Amino acid sequence: MTTFVRVCGLSELEEDTPRRVELDGTPVSVVQTGGEVFAINDICSHANVSLSEGEVEDCQIECWLHGSSFDLRTGKPSGLPATRPVPVYPVKIEGDDVFVSLTQES
Protein backbone atom coordinates (compact mmCIF):
# COMPACT_ATOMS: atom_id res chain seq x y z
CA MET A 1 0.00 0.00 0.00
CA THR A 2 1.20 3.49 -0.75
CA THR A 3 1.21 5.80 2.24
CA PHE A 4 1.45 9.49 1.53
CA VAL A 5 2.68 11.84 4.23
CA ARG A 6 2.32 15.62 4.14
CA VAL A 7 5.77 17.21 3.88
CA CYS A 8 5.06 20.91 3.33
CA GLY A 9 2.69 23.43 1.80
CA LEU A 10 2.77 24.05 -1.93
CA SER A 11 3.02 27.78 -1.26
CA GLU A 12 6.18 27.16 0.80
CA LEU A 13 8.01 25.86 -2.28
CA GLU A 14 9.87 28.31 -4.45
CA GLU A 15 10.39 27.49 -8.10
CA ASP A 16 13.71 25.65 -8.64
CA THR A 17 14.62 25.93 -4.95
CA PRO A 18 14.91 22.51 -3.31
CA ARG A 19 13.45 22.10 0.15
CA ARG A 20 14.90 19.41 2.39
CA VAL A 21 12.44 17.47 4.53
CA GLU A 22 12.74 14.31 6.61
CA LEU A 23 10.31 11.45 6.27
CA ASP A 24 10.70 8.61 8.75
CA GLY A 25 14.37 9.53 9.08
CA THR A 26 14.91 9.62 5.31
CA PRO A 27 16.13 12.96 3.94
CA VAL A 28 14.13 13.97 0.89
CA SER A 29 14.54 16.94 -1.39
CA VAL A 30 11.23 18.38 -2.61
CA VAL A 31 11.49 20.47 -5.75
CA GLN A 32 8.97 22.54 -7.66
CA THR A 33 10.01 23.15 -11.23
CA GLY A 34 8.14 23.80 -14.45
CA GLY A 35 4.78 23.62 -12.68
CA GLU A 36 5.44 20.14 -11.25
CA VAL A 37 6.63 18.94 -7.87
CA PHE A 38 9.18 16.15 -7.48
CA ALA A 39 10.63 14.27 -4.52
CA ILE A 40 14.09 12.77 -4.67
CA ASN A 41 16.27 11.24 -1.98
CA ASP A 42 18.46 14.05 -0.68
CA ILE A 43 21.71 12.10 -0.61
CA CYS A 44 23.89 11.92 -3.71
CA SER A 45 24.61 8.36 -4.84
CA HIS A 46 28.31 9.21 -5.20
CA ALA A 47 29.02 10.44 -1.67
CA ASN A 48 27.19 11.69 1.39
CA VAL A 49 26.26 15.10 0.03
CA SER A 50 22.91 16.86 0.32
CA LEU A 51 21.39 17.34 -3.14
CA SER A 52 19.05 20.06 -1.86
CA GLU A 53 22.07 22.34 -1.63
CA GLY A 54 22.56 22.07 -5.38
CA GLU A 55 20.95 23.86 -8.28
CA VAL A 56 17.92 22.86 -10.32
CA GLU A 57 17.83 23.21 -14.08
CA ASP A 58 16.00 21.39 -16.91
CA CYS A 59 14.25 19.05 -14.46
CA GLN A 60 17.58 17.98 -13.00
CA ILE A 61 19.20 18.61 -9.66
CA GLU A 62 22.94 19.07 -9.62
CA CYS A 63 25.20 17.79 -6.88
CA TRP A 64 27.34 20.77 -5.91
CA LEU A 65 30.38 18.70 -4.95
CA HIS A 66 31.38 16.98 -8.20
CA GLY A 67 28.70 18.16 -10.59
CA SER A 68 26.67 15.05 -11.41
CA SER A 69 23.05 15.93 -12.22
CA PHE A 70 20.13 13.67 -11.40
CA ASP A 71 16.87 13.58 -13.34
CA LEU A 72 14.06 14.56 -10.95
CA ARG A 73 11.66 12.19 -12.75
CA THR A 74 13.83 9.06 -12.72
CA GLY A 75 16.73 9.75 -10.34
CA LYS A 76 19.21 8.73 -13.01
CA PRO A 77 22.53 10.54 -13.19
CA SER A 78 23.30 12.31 -16.45
CA GLY A 79 27.04 12.02 -16.10
CA LEU A 80 30.02 11.01 -14.01
CA PRO A 81 31.22 10.69 -11.35
CA ALA A 82 27.88 9.34 -10.07
CA THR A 83 26.83 6.11 -11.77
CA ARG A 84 23.94 4.92 -9.61
CA PRO A 85 20.49 6.52 -9.56
CA VAL A 86 19.04 8.24 -6.50
CA PRO A 87 15.59 7.02 -5.39
CA VAL A 88 12.66 9.19 -6.43
CA TYR A 89 9.27 9.11 -4.77
CA PRO A 90 5.65 9.69 -5.82
CA VAL A 91 4.20 13.12 -5.00
CA LYS A 92 0.55 14.02 -4.50
CA ILE A 93 -0.83 17.56 -4.27
CA GLU A 94 -4.10 18.30 -2.54
CA GLY A 95 -4.98 21.96 -2.33
CA ASP A 96 -1.93 23.60 -0.74
CA ASP A 97 -0.62 20.36 0.75
CA VAL A 98 2.28 18.39 -0.72
CA PHE A 99 2.40 14.70 0.11
CA VAL A 100 5.24 12.25 -0.54
CA SER A 101 5.24 8.48 -0.29
CA LEU A 102 8.37 6.56 0.65
CA THR A 103 6.67 3.20 0.48
CA GLN A 104 6.68 3.05 -3.28
CA GLU A 105 9.66 4.25 -5.27
CA SER A 106 8.71 5.31 -8.76
Q: How far apart are CA 91 and CA 84, in angstroms?
A: 22
Selected binder of ligand FES within 5, 8, 26, 66 (CB under 6 A): 66
Smallest gap from residue 64 Cβ to ligand FES (A): 8
44 is an interface residue for ligand FES by CB under 6 A: yes
Residue 16's nearest CA partner among 68, 51, 45, 59 is 59
Omega prior to 81 cis, within 30 of 0: yes
Stretch that binds ligand FES, among 15-23, 32-40, 59-67, 90-98 (CB under 6 A): 59-67
Smallest gap from residue 66 Cβ to ligand FES (A): 3
